[in-house]
Structure formats: structure tokens, C-alpha cells
Structure 1
Amino acid sequence: MTNKHPTPARSRPADCIEAADAPLDGTNRLLPDRRAFLRRMAGLGGLAAMSTLPTLTRAAGFAEGLGYAPAYPVEFPHFDYVNPAAPSEGALTLSVFGSFDSLNPFLLKGLAATGTNTLLFDTLVVRAWDEPFSVYGLLADRLELADDGLSATFRINSAARFVDGRPVTARDVVFSFETLVGEAAHPRYRYYWADVAGATAVDPLHVRFDFRRANPELHMIIGELPVFSRDALIQVDFAEHSRTPLPGSGPYQIEAVNFGRDIRYRRRDDYWARDLGVNQGMHNFRTLGFKYYKDETVALEAFKAGEFDVFHESNSKRWARAYHGKPFDEGRIRRREIPHHNNAGMQGFAMNTRRSLFQDRRVRRALNLAFDFHWSNVHLFYGQYSRCESYFANSELAAQDIPEGVELELLEPYREQLPSELFEQAHVVPFAPTPAIQRQHLVEAQQLLALAGWELQDGKLRNADGEPFTFEIMLAQRGFERIVAPFAYNLRRLGIDVSYRTIDVALYQRRMNRFEFDMTVVSYGQSQSPGNELREMFGSESAHREGSRNYSGIDDPVVDAMIEAVIYAEDREALVTACRALDRVLMWHEYLVPNWYIGSHRLAWWNRFDYHDEPLPRYFSGAEWVMQTWWETHAEPQPGPVVNDVSSLNGGSPS
């Protein structure tokens, strides 16, 4: 899957994902019934140590009354979607778009190297990729949830060790939590765990998290906390610590790094959790490497030349036309579309409503009408995509028809603050199957712009002060320009002076963090059971906070109210209803021009790797699935000499 905890995703800007990919920082989860889970004391599955504990119901994955029981018993041997007998020697090298200048994935500043989060750090729990939201013990082997739901106590596995051999203790967990929600770390964590009042080390192996109010998923998402060593970092300025590795307890450590170009990890022979059920059939590569490219077309050619092993294709044109030649004909390179069941979320051209130009909803709707998805899908995408018509596309959470019943009751108190049409008709994303209908859309767009005070003067759209309607679309990948070009052409037909520009990835990320753009491509991956992360994406408190994912600048009390209804929904039915209400409000406000999604991962690989395909996981990102569960069938020579060797720093106290 994607990162288990809300680490900023920086290595792959949104416009590199032609189709909305797996969630970038959400998790796929199904909400437990609150009334039931508040009654439970739970032990976490997956650890042999559980045999010495009383028989307890697992909180992780418990969903009484919703037809969802955890798939695995307390002492399960391995997840169904792995091969426990997979060879564990060999090497894998993947490509990454962009660059990196940091080894600390928990900061707002800098671009962190891929893998510095998921490969180096264990969390209290891990989740299964074949269940909406079930978690099993890793660093923790037991969880006790208070009867009132206002605290949760984890017991640390006494065998857990950091890379330097130090035991993982409750003090390390408290230190990690306080560091991540403090001023030194990325502000995203403060929002994700906003309902966690604090953490206390009860004794060396027990840590208690106190909650500000009962939240049905909070005891599970706090379990996604990455844990690093207090003793190694207590004297370090965390905000400035970026060029040496943070000591973790995960399965890999950094072996070599060449900043901006490549990084290599080596699996730890002394990894403390290698025999746990959650790790059987996982982490099968002796070394994992990542090579960075600033152009994905160049990266594809490098893949064909054998510079790396697996390519996750994000471009429909390349997938349709570029995968041919001798290595393919001879079977030396294989390719396949791997189906998944991820909530597709939303991808779109986001308008920055902090700009006065985009503050009128009629203007935003007009720009939406100018985008001809059908033409693009036929002529640019080879018919491979479906349209995003919801912020929860491809799921039961998407708004349907008009609001009724409980959903209507949720929205009714805000009737005066919402478009009247929201209560009268279903929202429709513009679709033009013929050129004639697209012309009608442009006429409608022109009428909306006129109502908003914009008139054509000498072929240019101007407001009452004579100011032209002009803006820039910011991109990070040149290949996306072919998609923007026909959209820009239609906008110019309306008299809008629009330009688009591809900029360096580091500058792109800096401008995204500071909201210094007019329009850009964003991707909001969603989970099977959304929750706290919605505040970060759409909540008012994140609208003006640097580094948040509220790129459109949504600052709306109605949206805030719907988000709270989602987070504190008492059961699955209430969650679905609240998500639909939130979706409806967001769609009617036209904050972005919806793009598209695809229900599979397009992968190509050199034919010396294999994977377990019966069954495949249901909810997963392609890259993490390859990294964690694939194996090499016949080993190639190991990587050459180490460049910029940092191995001696992995077990020491960084400076």
C-alpha cells in the first residue's frame, strides 16, 4: 500500500499520475461500529506471543453488525496474498520521478528519498491489503481500549529492537509522537492526530494514548505511528536533521546514497520481526534501489535498456504504443494490468480560490464546462479511463441522485449556505459525446462568465475594470502538456488568456507547499473508510497552513461540518451517508475540473521476477506491492561499489 502513516508524498507530483493512483497518504479502512468497539478490550493479531495472553477480541478490524470480521486469526502464519516460501536473495531497482535532498521523510522542508519512511521504520500495527481496514500487531503485541473510548494502551513487543540494537520502549513511542505533532515536523501530523491529547509511558513496555473525544478509528490510526529512537535523537535538532538516516526498527537500512540521483537499501540480517506472521513472504529482496529521473519518457527508455527492473506506467499513450521491441517479443520483458479495488478518490485541475479570479462558483463551473473529457479519452488516452464524478469515485461513498433521508437531515441546517440546486438535482460533471454538445457547453460557460461580470472585449475576456481574465496552469511533468493543450484551446475560445508551464520538481513542491499557483493538477487518493485525513484535504483550518493538502483553499463551515460527521459516524451506514453529503457539497462548489481514473496498475518488468497472484490483494499501491511481496526468480549480480557509504551511520547517533 501507500505509506501507512501520513508522510508527505513528494517524490511524485500529482500531474505525473495521469490516472488517479492509489491513495497517497490515506489508508483503506472500514469503520467499526462505535457502540460495539467502545465495549472491547483487544489483543492484536499476528504475534506468537499472543498465545500467552487471554483470548480477546481484536479491536483492529472489529466491525460488529456490519458483516465484516477480521480475516486472520490471532496467530496466523502469513497474509494470503504473499508467498511464504519466496526466495529472499536478490535485488530490485525501481525508478522515481523527480529528485531528493533529504533522508528525513517527516519534515516540511526538502524532498525526502523514497523508502526512508516505509523501509526504515516499523509502526505499532500494520494492516492487511485484502481487508478494508484491519490492523495486526508489529511493534505492539497487545492493545487495550478504555471502556469510554477515551484512551488506548499498547504493549510493546519485548523483542522489538532498533537498528543499533537498543530495545524499543514506551519512551521511544512517546518521543516519536511528541516529535511528529510538534513544531519541528511536517504540520500534517498535527492535523491527522488532532484528537490525540497526549501519550504517556506507563512503564517500559506500555504506552497510553489519551483522546480528546471518542473517535471510532483513532485507536487504529494512532497505531500507524512510525517509531524512532529517543536516545539517538534527543539531542538532535529534528527540523534540521536531513542528511543522515534516522535510526529505525524496520526491515532495511540505507546502504548507499547519491543525493538527487539514487539511493540503495540493504535488508537487515538482524531484523527483529522477520519471523512474525505479518512479515512472512514480505521483504524478499536483499537490496532495494531507487533511481531518479526528471522525465518519465526518459525513464521508460532507461527501463528498456535494463537500468532498473520494474516500471509502473502512468501514461496511457506510452502504455498503448511504447511497449514493443525485441525484449518484449522475446519475453524478456513482461507487462500486465493488475486489477485493484481501491477507492479512486479524485484527480483534477484544482483552482486556487485564494486567488480572486476563482472565488466565484460560476467562474469555476464555466472552466469545468470548457474541459472536453470525452475527446481527450478517445484521442489522447486510447479509451482507457473513466471520469471522476465524485471525490470518492468508484465506491459506495459517492453522492447519488438528490439528498434524501438522513443525508438530507445532515444538509438541511445549511440550506441557506448551499446552492439551491444541490437539494433539487444530482450534480452532473459535464460530458460532451459530440462536438455539438461541447459547443453548447462553451455557450453555457460564456453565459456563466457574463453573469460573474466577465465580458468579451476585442476577443479578450475582461471584467468591469477592464482587467483581462488570465492565469497559468502549473505542471511538473512535461508529458502532461499534451493533456492541458486542448483544455487551454477551449479556454482561449472563451477569451481567457491561459498559459501552462512545466517547472522543476523542487520548485513545484515549494510552490505547492506555499499555494503559489493559479491552477494545477492534484490527486486526492481516498480510503475505503475516510476519516481524519479529510481535515487535511478540505478543512478550513488547513486552508491557509503551509504544507497542507487543501490546495484549492477550501474554507467553508459546511464542509467542516460534513467532515466532522464523517469522522464521528457511529457505524458504517452513518459513514456512507456523511461521505455522500460531503461529496455533494464539494462537487457543487466546483473547486476543480474533474479528471479520470483507472481500476488497475499498469506494470512492466524484466522477466526474472515473480509474485503471488492467487489471490491478489484488493487495496494496494503498485509500487509498495512490488517492493514488499515480489521476489527474484534468478538473481542478477549484486550492485557495484557503494557510493557515499552511509552504513556506519545507521547504527550510530546522527549529528
Structure 2
Amino acid sequence: MRFTVTGVCLSAGIGMLGLISSWPALLQAAEPEEVPTVHALALYGDPALPADFDHLPYVNPEAPKGGSMISAAQGSFDSTNPFIVRGTPAAGSMQIYDTLLESSADEPFTMYGLLAEGIRLDPQRRWVEFDLRPEARFHDGEPVTAEDVVFSFETLVSKGAPFYRAYYHDVTKAIAVDEDTVHFDLGDTKSRELPLILGQMQILPKHFWEGRNFEAVTRDALLGSGPYRIAQVDPGKRIVYQRVEDYWGKDLPLNRGRHNIDRQIYDYYRDQTVALEAFKAGNIDIRIESSASNWATAYDFPAMEQGLVKKLMIPDGQPAGMQAYVMNLRRNKFQDVRVREAINLAFDFPWLNKNLFYDAYTSTDSYFENSEMEATGLPSADELALLEPWREKLPSQVFDEALPIAEPEGLRERLAKALELLQQAGYTFKDGTMVNADSGRPLNIEILLYNAQFERVAQPLLRNLARLGIKGNLRIVDVNQYLNRLRSFDFDMVVGGFAQSLNPGNEQREYWGSEYADRPQSRNLIGLQNPAIDALVDAINAADTRESLDTAARALDRVLRWGFYVVPMYHLPATRVAIWDKFGWPEPFPQYNLDLSVWWVAPDKAKAIKNR
């Protein structure tokens, strides 16, 4: 029996004596309130599926089980622990873990119960409780309990990567009320997203980690409760995940028609060119193609002509986000916004798109491209209400000028403007080199890469910078060295990505928040420390309507764009997927995300591929 008094869930017969004495104080604080137990949470509105739904709408509930899917991963790995700062984690390692809730790829942000069969959310969003399914089990047969949830939260926040401290920033306490009930206090926060992102937390087995060093690199087959377990670890070369035949959750409506493939295999390749050749030879089953040039020209081989290989262009309903050359503000050379704007002006997207990309891409302007959150023109009255308190901390253009758009003029005019900006910033052109007039130091820039595929994209930018007297060079390192330098912010510029969803929230703190500027391995690659940006991130998290969220995101977008912190690149509102034709999948594809968990191996097709 469970009942709730001012947000504290109690179970009759469990720990009652220690709690009875505190009830008068609780009752004086507020009247008892009935909070309904629900099966799902939606950020705005109601979940699309009722409590008695049979399966997700975009699955084939009768999909066959079996077969394998081999994917390529780049570089190397030395760890099976994806949660910590140290080491390079193996691809796919999250799929051995279950979460409290799981999202539907057909809804903007709705989470349905997975480990949790019931959810209670305080109407004032001061707390949330999850009732665990009593049948939930880790792979060793031990039950998943509220103590495991509390252990997972405390371990990830205290010992995990900085991402977790940002993500769960406003959670003040986690309490195991009884064996199957966990309670989270959400502190003084108005974040609508926080209860849902708590539901995304991977649940770790407390009994497995007792006596082990969570922060140490390990290659062990770690224990989870998810649909797959680690079956083989060949460090740096291959990792294999095996479908769990007796997976506790296989018959849940949420999982019907999902997790159909027996073996998920990730083979590692140092070079994308070699990985492509491995795909063409049939050693890889599926390839997410990131190169427009490859997509246009590299798939002309016999198996494609014979119909054994397919190319799919799967629409993406999420915002495009921001892929860009990221400038590191921890370097003095990038402190002046005029220098940053000048570097932006040297990027020639039309030339790249025509000569390298077969006109496949669209230039990116916004951090929330292809969504209602993208800022345009001058700020609205609602945006100004958020921006005005920070007028002294922001460029005047934020308030007075329409946002700049990509490629407003020809390259010659752009470089002339860039030269003028550099001179205003105190640089002078001397003997073919741009030097600081005070120190005499040349303006040099290094772009750090781990993927040689970007070399041909970066070289045109370096050539244009050279026309301004800026000496640039590429440094291509292996993925482990790249990650180490990224973690310690040891770079001038890198190609970075800031992924966005239709419902941005706590992850924005780690992208742009001042407190993460100097935390190793944080995603504040730019090194931003601006109270105005911090306040706008808080406004996003406090938004209680779709309209207020859009307004706060537009204001943040506007400020970031006028800061010229990155050189925006380009985007494609779809995912390119090449496959050997051995798979089946439901159609239409889900609206918002590509969900490979609903694919299956078609036995007849797989046999034809094997006998080709």
C-alpha cells in the first residue's frame, strides 16, 4: 500500500516507526494531497498512448528475432564504462542498461515507463516518484531496486562525467522509500524537463559495483538489465553485444517488436575510407554516411547494381543543431569578437557546397536550425523582456540589428570586411602576415581533427585565412589523443557539434554555462562564461509553455550568434543510411528519430546476401 503526504511516499509496514514522529511537521507544512500514478510523462500536453497500449505505433509487433548487424566504429576503444571521464568508451555500450522511462520516437518528448511501472509527479514539480516493476532483473538475476536507482544517481553525479552534474543539476535528493519506490526532490526549480530526464538515467547494479572502482578504466563485461549484454570484448578492434533471451522486459508493450537482432557488432576502423571499403566488401552491414561526396559517387559498385545494397534517405524531424568550427575562448587570440567575426567571414560555404558536396547541403545560421526556436530578424517584445536586464553584458547588435545570415555577399567583399575587423582589433598586415600591433605576435590558428575526412573541408578555410595573413594549419591525431586534448581544452579550433532536440533543457547548461567552462570533459567547448547566457539557459529550463520555451531559445540563439563563437557549417535534414539488403523495418519511419531497435533481420534476404 502506498500513499503520499506532501510529496513523501510511504509504504505501510516499511520503516514506519522512524517516520511517524515526523508526520505532524509534514502535515503542518501542507495539506495532504492525492497525486495520481501515471504510466507516462509528456513535456507538454498528454502522452499519445493510453496506459493499456499494446505496442508503439511504429513497430512490427510480430518482427522475427535473430541474425546480426555489423556496424563500423572509428578509431579505437579501451573501456566498457561509458559514464566516466577516463578512457575511450566502446560503441553501443549504453544498450546493456535499462532506464526508468523510455521515449517514443513518434512524439516530441514523451517518456513511457520501462523499469518504472508508475510515476507520480507533484503538481508544483517539487518532487517525482517512480514505482519499479517487481519483475525487473539485472542479467545475473538480481532484482532492480530503489537502492540501485539511488546508487546510480549518486554515483553518476559524484563520479561520472561532468555531463551528469549538469543534467541533474536541480535534483537535491534521491531517497529509496521502499524496495520498489524511489523519490527525487527537485529543489527550487521550475524545470518541466527535469522529471523526464531523470527517467532517462541508466540504472546501475549497486551489488556489482561494491568493491570496484567506478572511475577506473575497465574492459570487463559490465552488468546491466537491458535487452543486450556484452558478449565479446576485443579492445580497440571489436565489441559484440548479445540479445538477452530471458530479458525481463521483452514482453512489455513498450518493447514488443523491438530489440529483434541477436548480435550487435561494432568493428573498429582507423580510417573512414577503409570502413567504406569494408562495407562494399560486405564486412559491414549498415553505414551512416556523413560524406555528401561519398553518397554521390562512392556507391557505384557491383552489389549496388545487383540490388544487394540499398541507400535510404530517412527524414529527421529534430532541429538540425549546430555543426561548426568551434573557437576556444580560453585562447587570448579569440577574446576579441571582431577576430571571431573575421574568421567567420573567411568561410566560403557556396564554394564548398558546389565543389565538394554536390549541392547537397544547406548553410547553417541558427543553433536551433529548422525549428520554431530559430531566431530571425529583430527581437520580439517577449525576447526583449528576457534580454533587457543584460544589456550591458551583450553586444548592442543583439537589440538593434537584424541577425546576420550566411553568405550575404561574395567572398571578396567578405574578406575585405574581415580585414577591416582585424585592423580594428589591433592587427596589422606586415610582410604577408597578420600581426598584433602591440605584441608583434602573428595570428596563427590550428584546427585539431581526428577524422581525415574533414581535411578537404578545412583546407579552403585555411586558404582564405591565409589571404588575410592568418597562418593556419591542420593537426590530425588519433582519436585517443584527440579526446585527451578535448577534455583538457588543449586546442585552438575543433569541429564540434551541439545537438538539439525539440525540447532543449538541462544539457544547455553544459553547452554554454559558466560553471562548466573549466571542467574537464564538459561540453562547454567554447569556454563561455557570461551571466546573460546563464540567465537565458535558466529561462529555457523554467519555461512552462511551448511559447515561453520558444521565446527563451530564440533569445539564446540571438546572443550566441552575435557572439560569433563558432563558424557555422552546414546541415542536411535527413540521415543517409546505406545497408546490405538483409533487414526489414516498419514504415513509415517514426517522425522524430531514427530508431534502429525496431529493425529486424529478414531470414530470406539474409540468406540471399550470404549466398551472393
Alignment TM-score, normalising by the size of structure 1: 0.86
Match of 1:121 in 2: 97
1:429 partnered with 2:405? yes
Match of 2:225 in 1: 249
Match of 1:446 in 2: 419
Match of 1:366 in 2: 342
1:285 partnered with 2:261? yes
Distance in 2, Cα, partners of 1:151 & 1:114: 34
Letter in 1 for 2:553: C
Query: Could you list the per-position Cα deviations for residues 31-73 of structure 1 after superposition, in whole angstroms to 9, with x for gaps in the alignment?
Result: xxxxxxxx9945443xxxxxxxxxxxx4x01634xxxx32211
Contact 1:562 1:578 in 2 (8 A): yes
Distance in 2, Cα, partners of 1:458 & 1:607: 59
For residues 436-475 of structure 1, the aligned pairs below 5 Å read 437-464=410-437, 465-475=439-449
For residues 105-116 of structure 1, the aligned pairs below 5 Å read 105-116=82-93
**Equivalent of 1:603 in 558, 577, 582:** 577
Distance in 1, Cα, partners of 2:320 & 2:133: 36
Distance in 2, Cα, partners of 1:541 & 1:602: 37
**Equivalent of 1:334 in 304, 310, 327:** 310
**Equivalent of 1:87 in 46, 64, 83:** 64
1:560 partnered with 2:541? no
User: 1:282 deviation in Å?
Assistant: 0.6
Letter in 2 for 1:84: P
User: 1:607 deviation in Å?
Assistant: 1.2
1:199 partnered with 2:180? no
Query: Could you list the per-position Cα deviations for residues 527-572 of structure 1 after superposition, in whole angstroms to 9, with x for gaps in the alignment?
Result: 1010000000010001111010111111111100100010011211
Compared with structure 1, are the counterparts of its residues 312 and 42 closer, same or farther at alpha carbon in structure 2 (3 Å cutoff)? Answer: farther
Contact 1:41 1:143 in 2 (8 A): no
Distance in 2, Cα, partners of 1:443 & 1:62: 47
Percentage of pairs with the same residue: 43
Query: Could you list the per-position Cα deviations for residues 435-474 of structure 1 after superposition, in whole angstroms to 9, with x for gaps in the alignment?
Result: xx21010000000000000110111101122111112011
Letter in 1 for 2:601: W
SS in 2 for 1:334: strand
1:548 partnered with 2:522? yes
Contact 1:201 1:207 in 2 (8 A): yes
Distance in 2, Cα, partners of 1:253 & 1:42: 35
SS in 2 for 1:240: coil
Query: Could you list the per-position Cα deviations for residues 65-98 of structure 1 after superposition, in whole angstroms to 9, with x for gaps in the alignment?
Result: xxxx322111211111111111111111111112
For residues 352-501 of structure 1, the aligned pairs below 5 Å read 352-431=328-407, 437-464=410-437, 465-501=439-475
Distance in 1, Cα, partners of 2:605 & 2:358: 37
Contact 2:586 2:598 in 1 (8 A): no
Letter in 1 for 2:581: N
Distance in 2, Cα, partners of 1:610 & 1:454: 59
Distance in 2, Cα, partners of 1:603 & 1:211: 40
Distance in 2, Cα, partners of 1:469 & 1:217: 43
Alignment TM-score, normalising by the size of structure 2: 0.92
Contact 1:42 1:142 in 2 (8 A): no
Match of 1:314 in 2: 290
Match of 1:538 in 2: 512
Match of 1:15 in 2: none
User: 1:422 deviation in Å?
Assistant: 1.6
Match of 1:162 in 2: 138
Contact 2:60 2:586 in 1 (8 A): yes
> Which runs of no fewer than 5 residues in structure 2 stay unpaired?
1-32, 608-612
User: 1:395 deviation in Å?
Assistant: 0.6
Match of 2:602 in 1: 632
1:294 partnered with 2:270? yes
Match of 2:6 in 1: none
Contact 1:369 1:445 in 2 (8 A): yes
Contact 2:102 2:112 in 1 (8 A): yes
Match of 1:31 in 2: none
Compared with structure 1, are the counterparts of its residues 635 and 249 closer, same or farther at alpha carbon in structure 2 (3 Å cutoff)? Answer: farther
Letter in 1 for 2:93: T
Q: Which moved more, 1:423-432 or 1:403-412?
A: 423-432
Contact 1:40 1:147 in 2 (8 A): no
Match of 1:61 in 2: 42
Query: Could you list the per-position Cα deviations for residues 90-123 of structure 1 after superposition, in whole angstroms to 9, with x for gaps in the alignment?
Result: 1111111121100101111011111211x10000
Distance in 1, Cα, partners of 2:573 & 2:130: 37
RMSD: 1.4
Contact 1:540 1:557 in 2 (8 A): yes
Q: Which moved more, 1:485-494 or 1:239-248?
A: 239-248
User: 1:429 deviation in Å?
Assistant: 3.3
Query: Could you list the per-position Cα deviations for residues 201-224 of structure 1 after superposition, in whole angstroms to 9, with x for gaps in the alignment?
Result: 101000001111232121111111
SS in 2 for 1:278: coil
Match of 1:104 in 2: 81
User: 1:631 deviation in Å?
Assistant: 3.1
Distance in 2, Cα, partners of 1:389 & 1:331: 39
Distance in 1, Cα, partners of 2:283 & 2:319: 33
Compared with structure 1, are the counterparts of its residues 510 and 44 closer, same or farther at alpha carbon in structure 2 (3 Å cutoff)? Answer: farther
Match of 1:511 in 2: 485
User: 1:241 deviation in Å?
Assistant: 5.0
Distance in 1, Cα, partners of 2:411 & 2:445: 22
User: 1:231 deviation in Å?
Assistant: 1.1
Letter in 1 for 2:169: A
User: 1:187 deviation in Å?
Assistant: 1.9
**Equivalent of 2:186 in 200, 211, 233:** 211
Distance in 1, Cα, partners of 2:337 & 2:538: 24
User: 1:575 deviation in Å?
Assistant: 0.6
Contact 1:172 1:230 in 2 (8 A): yes
SS in 1 for 2:277: helix
Distance in 2, Cα, partners of 1:429 & 1:178: 44
User: 1:185 deviation in Å?
Assistant: 1.6
| Structure having greater relative contact order (Cα 8 Å, sep ≥ 6) | 1
Distance in 1, Cα, partners of 2:87 & 2:210: 22
Letter in 2 for 1:460: T
Distance in 2, Cα, partners of 1:190 & 1:633: 45
Match of 1:11 in 2: none
Match of 2:590 in 1: 617
SS in 1 for 2:42: coil
Distance in 2, Cα, partners of 1:42 & 1:137: 15
Match of 2:559 in 1: 585
Contact 1:228 1:246 in 2 (8 A): no
Match of 1:650 in 2: none
User: 1:620 deviation in Å?
Assistant: 1.5
User: 1:147 deviation in Å?
Assistant: 3.8
Letter in 1 for 2:84: L
Distance in 2, Cα, partners of 1:430 & 1:241: 43
Distance in 1, Cα, partners of 2:402 & 2:74: 39
Matched length? 573
Distance in 2, Cα, partners of 1:611 & 1:430: 38
Q: Which moved more, 1:601-610 or 1:158-167?
A: 601-610
